[in-house]
Structure formats: C-alpha cells, structure tokens
Structure 1
Amino acid sequence: MADQIHILRTLLQIQLASDSSAVEHLPYTLSHLSKNAFDPSPHLSKWISRVTSLMRSNESGARWAGFCLAYQTSIYSKELMIEYAQGWIGIALPAIAKNDALPTTKAAIRLMQVILTAASDVPEFQRQLATPNATKYSTLLIDLADKSPSLELKILSINSLTSVINQYPTLHRQSYPSLSTLSLKFLNGSSPAPVNAQLLQAATGLYCVLHHTGGKVGAANLWKNSVDETLNFAWGSLSALRTSFSEGNYGHSSSRDSKNPVFSVPRNVDALRCATTILEKLLSTPTQRPVPLSIGPLAQLALAMLRCSMDDPAKENFDSATQVMERSVVPDIWSLGCSLTSTLAQCAGYHLCPHVSRILSTATYQLEQRLTAPQRISFLVMVKEVLANSFLMHSDIAVTRLVKSLLPSLSAILAMQASGTVLSSAPAKSRKGKKRAREYEGDELLRSSKGLIFPVPEEGEVALIALDVLQLLERNPHIAQPARSLASRIFLAVALALPQIPPALLCPDLALHHKISSRIQSLCAGLSSNLSNTMSKSLPMVVQMGSDSHEWDVLLHPRLPPLLQAVPYLEDLSLFRVEESQEETDVREALNISTGNVAAPPEDASAHPTSMQLDIREDKNDARPVVISLSVDRSQKGPVTHPTQSQEAPHPPSQPLTTPSTHPTSLPAHQISQSISAVAPVVNAPTAGPSTSTVVPITVSYHQEAEDEDEEMPSIDMDSDSD
C-alpha cells in the first residue's frame, strides 16, 4: 500500500506538477496507473482536483491530458467515476460541442462513453445522471459523424453511438429517422470512392442496432423491415452489375445511372458489398424476441451471386465496354456470395437444408472451373461451413462430383516438381565434349531458383481447406464407390509422400507441412477405423500415425452406436492397380491422374512425354531402401486438360541415384511393401521449360530384420514331463 500511495504522490509532485509536464509525461503517467493505486487514501482527493483542473485548462493539450487521466480513472475505479461523473460530464459535453482539437474531442467522447455505459448496474446513477445526458450526447455525436471532415472522428462517433444505443435503446426511439439516415449515408454506395473498410463496419454496426429502439414488441418488425429493404437494395445492385448478360434481369430494377460503366460498375460493386455486409451483421445481431428469418430470399440472393459467370451469352444489344467491366467484377461477386452463404449457414443451421443441394451443386461447378487460389479458398470455406452446419446430403451425384473436384488439390502434392523435391540428387546426363555438372547432396536447398510444390501460401491453404472438406464428406455414405476408392488411394499416397518432403520444399509457410500431415493422418486413421474388419488390418498404421484421442477411443472402446449404413470393407477398396475397376479407371482418367506401372518398361519412353511415372523396386529379401522415382517431363506447355478418353502412360526407363533418406516414413515396412507399389496415383502435370526429362527419386527408408522363410520348425518332445 505504501508503494502505491507513493506512486500517486510522486505523479502529483513531479509528472503532473504543471500543465506542460502533464502533457509531456502523460504516457509515463498512464503506464504506472493500476487498479490498486485508487484504493482509499489521502491522495485521491488531490488526484481528482488535479485531473479536474487539467480538464478546465485553457490549453488544448492540458485538456487532452485531463480527459485521458479521467478516462483511465473511470476504468480503474467505478466508485470514483460515479462520485465525480456529474462534474466531468459538465466539462466533457461542451468540449464535444465546440470545435476543439481532434485529440481533445476524441478523449472527451471516450470519457462520456465510459461514464454512460460502465455503471449500468447502479439504477440511481442511471436515473439521475446517465439517462438525462444520453440523448444530449447522442445528438452531438450525430452532428459530428455527419459534418466532421475527419474520418477517424467519424468512425469513433459512430462506434460510440452504437454503444450508447445498445445501452439506452428506448431513449433513442424519436431519433430513429436521423440515425437511419446517418448510417445509410455511408452504406448506399453513392460516393465516388469505395467506402472505407473501418467506416463500413462502423456504419453497419450502427444500422444493425437501430431495431432495438422499437422496444420488445416493435424490434422484430423493424429487424424484418431492415432485412427486406437490404435484400431489395442488394438485388438492385446485382441487377445493375449483370446488364450485359443473359441472367441480368432478376426482376429488380436499379435506379443507378449505368451509362458510364467506368463509374457505375465500381459504385454498384461497392453497394453490393455494403448490402451483403449489412445482411451478415443483421443475421448475427441478437434480438430480444424470436424473429422470422427469410431463408428462402436470402438463399436465392446467395445462389444468384454464386452462379454469376463470365461466359454467359450476352444480350443482343450491349456495350462491349460495359460487358468487359462487368466481367471483371465477377470474382468480387463470388467472394461476396460465399461470405453471405457462410454466414447464412452459421446462423440458420439445419433450416438451410432445403437449399444445401443447390448451393453445393453450384459450388462444385465453380470448383471444377479454372479459378485462382483466393477464389478457390472462398468457395472451399463456404462449402466447409455449409457441410458443418447441415445434414448429410442424399444425392449420390452431387456428393461424388464434389469429391472429384477436391481431389486435384491434393494430388498436386504428388505432382512434385524436380527443382523443389529432390531429396537425393541424380547427376544429369552429360553430352559429349562438355564437362558434366557436379551436383552435391543438399545442394538444392541453396538454390535461389528452386521450385516449390505450393509457391504461393494461398495454394497451400487450398489443399489444407480441401482436406477439412473431405473429412466432412468422408462420413457421407452416398459417395460413389469408384470415387471413394480413388480418394482413399490418394490419401494414403499423400501420407506416404509427405514424410519425404522437407517443409521448406513444400511451401514458404513452414507450418503448412505439419498442418497438412496432421490432417491427412487423421483422415487416413478415420477411414481405417470404420469397421472392426478394417481396424484389424490397419491397426499398425493407426498406431504409427499417432492418432488423436477420438481414434484411440474407437479402438479401445468399441461399444459405440452402430453406423446407419455399413461402410465398405477393405476388400472393396482397390489399393492395387490390378484391382482397379473400369469405373475407377474412368474417374481417374477424367481427373487426369495416372498410376505407375510395375510391368516392364516400354521400348520407346518418349511416346508419352507428359506423364509422371511411379516406379517401385521392392525385394522382400533385400534390406535396401525402397526407391520411388518420379520421371517428370517438362517439355509440354499449357494448362492441364481433362480428356474424356486417355490411356495410361508407360514407364520410361530410369536409373536414379539413391541416397538413404534422413526422413524415414512413419509407416511399418510390411504395409509399405504391400500397398505402396500401386497406391500412389500420379498427376499429369505439364510444366513449361526445355524438353528434358528429370528423374526425381524419393527414398523411403525402413529397417527390416532378416528372416529365414525356410527355417525349420523346432521339434516338440511329446514325452517330456510338463509337471
């Protein structure tokens, strides 16, 4: 106690001795204040007197220091704030009303906000002091937010208004028109420049609390009216952005001028962004009584935004400049639609189930197109939220298509580029008359031009979210058997390949390697522990992968509720190429994924220059490492195509130089020998570059004790006395 009193006394005698020193040492003074410093003591009255004198000073800097000290005192001691709030309100309100310096006005606004909202549990204080001054404070804030040229002061005023209206909703019933006009001033998208993100959030927060002014009875109607008006506003903005496309007429007209697309298109995009932000905030705002939620109209708006396309046939009479501008903002419409759908799924929950099939079908179609990584992330996050907050879909076609659209994101890990995944480098073939370039082990880590599997962090994020979505889809029994089998093979192939890939060669974000490894291990363990028949055969893999507590509970405590539908046995999943059915082959070829061929290599290896081959050399009686060599040809340029009919590419002869890996796989050796030879499907990944074939060996090291299969069984002496 003596030290705390000494702190107050020292601050009063040194740091707050004069107005100039109080301004200069204000950061030091605020950093040394604490809640215990305001315990009852003789120095408290001197402290309050000094703070009040600073608030009444003629200098703007001293007033700013006084308001800051009063605010900090109110935070640490509610008793002192209640006792001296009347005098401080008489000083702060005139400071807000007059055109004072910006820091002083901001400090006075914060002081008034904490005084009006911090003592809500003291009825007498609320009745005598807070209630009479709340409307005065709100009137001053409305004027500041409307007329102040400072963006920072506008945002602070709107946020303070939101806090006060939440505390005193019925007192602002008469101010509802002015408050609504103020908030919509920043949300109608009429300004030439886009609305500032912070100002948009502040104005949206103010607009979404105005329905509380209607009381317990009228709040529900005001909330519903706000949703309906915002929906009409969003439809009008979306219609104005699709005037040159066939689906542009949504039955809603927009009064915006669309003669000059250079100005109209950005304004309409900004207006649509404001409308979707308002809808998301309204859906997340609590209400005192149940309100009717218009799930159908909201889902229709979200679907219309998700279905926007750049390739729709245009209308007969259209302006080419308008169509180019409208086509350029389609990714922004997709992003807003995904955000709105995610919020609707979180708030509506299972009530959204009648629309889930159409939403996921639309998202699947978009995921099958050529999208950038940020666009794909938006759709994947939306699909994840919808699946997590709805029942399982019963459409075989929709679920299977969704799984197929996600598999290429994972198979990219298997399509490793030679410059980024060489673990044991192989010397290139030297030409006659030229000196062979020397390569050293680990030299690829020092190359500045090395390639990564995911050069951009967003591409790695796509694979990570795709794993989360596939884990949600894995529990769906309606996935077609060929797609399920192919997905299982890809999961196991990725689980085997990841331990051999250093984190630095996967993505610039080193933490992504651990995240993907944990996701894929959990997914493989979940697939392996569905039935007792499967668990008995995959128990070593589950144990070696270090599953979480849920998988251990399934193994140790099998008395769980039975599954609604039997999960296919392990024999039904083709882990070997020879067991692959024609349907699974068609699915794999449609996804442009080829498997390795363990048969003899063809004579002409250049017949199929665009395939990546997987060559497994295995000898059960040999303890040498198993070598997986990927032959990558970099001669073809252009995007990846999806042919309807394709043939498996034969194996090119390759003799890689292998080195034992320093990252041994976590799987047992007998499982590797049984399944790795045909598990890993490889993606046809053509890349730009010279027409050279590079062999990328991946070494899977394991140690197996020597066993003599022909060892004679020991004889048993039947005449021996067991007693």
Structure 2
Amino acid sequence: MKEECVTALVTTALEMDAHPLKILLQLQLASDSSAVLHLPHTLASLTAETLLPSAHTSKWTARINSLLHAKTSDARWAGLCLAHKSSLLSQAMMIECAQGWIGIALPLLAKKEATPVLSAAIHLLGLIFSSATNMHEFQRQVSTPNVLKFTTALISLGESHPDTELRILILATLTRLLPIYPTLHRANQTALSSLCFVFLNGNAFKPPHDNLVNAASELYATLHLTGGKVGAVNLWRKSVDDALSFGWTALSSLRTTFLVDGDFHFSYLNFAPKLRSGRLPQPPPGASEPLTWIPLNLDRLRCTIVVLQKLFLAAAQRPVQVPLGALVKFASALVACHEQDLGSGMPARVHFLPHLTCHIPRLLTSISFQLEQTHISSERLPFLEVVQVLLSDERTLHSTLIANRLAKIVLPLARVVLAREGDTRTTDSEVGQSKKGKKRAREFEGDEILRFSRDVICPTALDDGVLLAAFSVIRLLLRTTSLSPALQSIACRVALSALLSLPQMTPASLSNDPQLHCVLLDMIQRICVEFAVASVEGMSKSFGLIVGACLAGGTLSSELEILLHPRLPPLMRSMPGIEALSLSRAEESQEESDLLQSLKLVSPNTPTVEIPTSSGDPIVEAPAMNSVPREPPAVQIPTIPAPSFRPPTAIQAPAQPSTSSILRTQETPPLTMPRAIETRIEAPMEVEQDNDRNEEMPAIDLDSDSEEE
C-alpha cells in the first residue's frame, strides 16, 4: 500500500513538471532506511536525461556522499550502487566525483565488509578506472596513482575471500583492467600468475566452479600483455608451452603404464629430466595416494584444456608462432584415451619384482628382524607372506647369513605339528622318579584314552596361515644354495617328522578348519619329494614317498616321468644322499645338536637309553629330536603289562641257574613276547614295575621238566 502511494506521488510530481531528482531526493532518499528500501525503484527511475546538469545535480551527489559515509553497511551499499549507476549514465558526473568516491570505496576493500558492499565497491572502482580512457589528464591524475592500489587489494581479496561469485567478479575486473594498463601491471605479473594458479592447479576433493576456471583462464591469457609489444609474443608462446607441459604431466600421471613417444620430450615442470624413447614416465615427487592423485590430475587436465582455449582466443598485437606439432600430439594422446581402451591398454599386473632383486637382501634383513621381535600371529603372517613373494620366482639368495637367519625363525613355527611335550612327558618324567612315584603314576595309566578335550594346535585362521607360510618358506629355503648343511639337515628332519606325524593326527586336533590337514599334508609331501628327487640315490630310495605324494596330489604322470626319465638338470648344490641325513641324535654333528637346542627343538637334558643288540653289547643312543613323533597311544596299548606277560618277565629274574636250561623249558609263545618287548625297550620297564609291587615271586622248580623227560 505504501509503495502504491509513493508511485502515485511520483506520477503526480512528474505530471506537474517537477524534476525527477527532486522527487527522488524528497521521497525515496529522504532517509537512509528509505534509500535502502526503495533502491531498486530509484535505480530503475534514473536515466541519462535525469542526470544532466541542473540545480539538483549537486544535491544528488551530496546525498550519495552522505550515504557512502553512513555508519550502517546497508546504507553504504545503497550509496555505492547509486554512485555506480550515476557514473554509468553520466561521464561528467563520474569525472567530477571520481576522486572522492575512490577515496571512500578503495579502503572498503581492505576492511571486513559484507559481500554485497565489496561487490558494489569493485563494480564502482572498475567502472571508474576503465572509463574516460581518452582523457589523458584524468588518467594521469586519478587512474594511474590508484589503479595499482586497486589491483593489489583485489589480488589479496581474491586469494582470501571464500565467496565464489566475488572471486569471479575480481578475476573479471582484473582481466578488463590489465589490457588498459599493461605497463603498470608488469610489476604484479608474478602475483597475478599465482592468483590464477590458485584456481587452475586443480583440486582433488572439490574442483572449482566452471565459471571460476573460465575467469582465471581469461586472466591468465592476458598476462602476456605485460611484456609490451615486443615481449608479449614471447610470453604468449611461453604460456602455451607451459600449459602443454602441465597437461602432459597430468596425463602421464594418470596413465603411467604407457610408453612415452620418443619424438616428443617433455618435462614435469622442472620436476624431472626429459624422458627418452621407450621409457616409462616416472611420477613427479609428491605423488601420494591414488585416491587423491588421480582426481587431482583429472582436474588439472580439465584446467589445461580451458587455458589453451583462452590463450588461442587472446588478442596479440604482432604475429605469433603456434606450436602445431606439440598441439597435435597432445590432442592425439587425449583422443586415444577413451573408456574402451582402458581395459585392454592397462596390464593386469605391474611387474615390479624384477626391479627389487638388488634390494632383496636388505628387505629380508629388515623382515627377519621384525619376525624375531614379533610373537603374535596377526603380525607374523604379513611378514611371512612378503618373504614368500621375495623368495619366489626362482630368485637366488646369495647371502648365507640371511638364509640361516630365516630358517632359524621359521623352523620353530613349523614344529607345532610335531609331537608335543604332553606326548613325551611320561617317558621323560619316569627317568629319575622314585619307586613310590612310579607306583603312584602307574595307577593313572590309560587315562589319556578317556580324555576327550584336547587342545587345538591352530585355534584361529591366522595361526593356520602362519603354519602354511612357515612350511612354504622352508620349501623355498631348501631350494636356495645358501642354506648351511646343518640347517638343511634339520629342515629335512622337521619335514620328515611332520610327514610321519600328520597322518596320525586328526584334522580336528590340528585346526578348526578341516581342510587345513589335507593342504598341509600335501605341502609337506611336496617338500619331501623335492628333496628326494634332488639326487639319483634319493630318487631310488624314495619311490614309495613319491608314489604316495602322486596319488594324494593327482600328479602321478609328471612325478613318475621324473622317476623313469630324470631329464631335469641337476641343482646348483651337491645334495647329500638320504644316508647322509642325521635321523637320530647319535648320527648328528655337534653343530646340529647346538642348533636343535638353540631352536628349542629338543630338550637340552634328554636322558640316554641303552638299546641291546644281538651281540650283547649295548649301544648308547640319545632319543631323537622331539619333533620326531612317537607311535600313537593306540599302538602302545597292547604292550601295557598284563598278567599274561609275567611268566616271560620272571625269567629275567636275577636268580637264574643257566640260560640253556631256560630256553629248553620255555614254550613257543613265551619266546616271541620277550623279543618284542626287548625291541621296543620296554622289558626293563616291566622288571622295574614288577619290583615296585614288593610281592614275592613264585618259586619255579627248574628240575621238574627235566625229571619228566
């Protein structure tokens, strides 16, 4: 309703031939709040005829100056808009008031003003500095002293202000002023280039707006004008070359598996030397995660194309040399990169392992140190997998120290599938026990048969992976030429012991995964077969092992072909024969014994047992390493002492008249049982257990049989 009344009053005043400025000053601009409220109507009412020189012109400029000096930002914004409109419609009024308006609007750019106020001030100052270019005196007194201040303020504001529309306005204003004052902006060329690169360097997370990129590209395309009539041509060509180099860098970073064409060399903006033909382009320093590096280079490639477009649309005062060859190659490379080519052009696997050959000793040394410090399966498994990769593909490890160090790490990991301490606790503890303790322990014999809750060797999936990785590393180490003979013998003994122990073990006792038992058994068989076929003697003595592995693995034809026609070349090392392996403690060397104790594969205080021979001389032999499994309890149960075995055991009592008379009086069944007991080294134990009972031995009349004869 109020607006309708104001409109009616204006119409009445115009009908009464009143001056329009007088009506606007009395009604719309009567107060600061009224001026802000009626600003759209005031700007629409102004025309070039209205601002012609009159008695109300001075009052109009005075009212604009009062609004520019107002305390509220909205009133200042209204004053800036009225000044811009008046300067646009009347050049005479702009020339008259420009000095005062510049002094008011220019300091606003350095203050924390609202975005509409800053935008209005930039519009006003840009109009003042770009108008009246034909008036040299105005340029000398007003524009030249203030245009550099205005440019510096715009550069600082464009780099710090977050508003996109204001930044676009700043770049467009600089683009309009730079061709008018090229010599004055020569000192600010570096600052202007940096401002352009803020928006043209790409952004991986939030690419800049298209209008912002276009505005920055237009400003960048006018920077060559600061070089003057002669230097502008060289600066333009340099800008084109820099843009092409920037685009090639981005493209090569995206498609690093493509070979570089030898006809065109380029540099990564002083990051890398020129490439040769057939060389893979190396990414520049700072290439980080692909999740951020790829989007960044895609945005840089987009900015490069826009910059090239603006450079070819820029004005040049003299003829320039266009690098058509470089442009054609760059355009051809961009056209060749389409979505259909990505699947076939990119290789499935980047073969980087051959380049690591010279660094393998250093890597394995570091991994060995980490494995020695780590005791958790989740931390061991990644290192063991890396060791498998480094030792695979028939790579020769020339360092004996590293091979032995790795073997000492993985052998204790592989011994978990061998006979554990619980299996040998009875035999080891019986030696040195008192008679009363043995008698008490005998009352609990056979309890292991009724024990249903057994510990699982590999309770988790990580433990399964560690066990498989350990045997895989052992297999790879046995293929190298750097493993010492003692550790080679121990590794083979561990593999043979595991081959004998696994079939007697249920899959449930090994792991919660029932497939692990079959996979591990097949892997251990492969290890034993590879070691057996290394020499002719080993192949001839391991026929059963090889056939068993073939039947289990399903490769019967290939393995039997090796047995029948051994055309494989010999290994680089001289493999020992099967008879050279120390399969018992009596045959092993002192070095092997020390290694077994250091690796905790055998107890250091293992007692010796006398094994009687047919000649009557006992052979002292220490028991084999704890990794060699004993016979399962199911086989040992028939040898438990029973009442039926007492008569032959009693024959070995101390009071015996003659051996010939004993042999004549015994029947056939008692003769076979003592031999079985003597062979299994259990006859002396029977004697001690019978003596523990403190029972009287039954008298045997040795003359009764002879009398009957």
TM-score with structure 1 setting the length: 0.43
Q: Which has the larger radius of gyration?
A: 2
Higher helix share: 2
**RCO (CA 8 Å, sep 6+): is it higher in 1 or 2?**
1
TM-score with structure 2 setting the length: 0.43
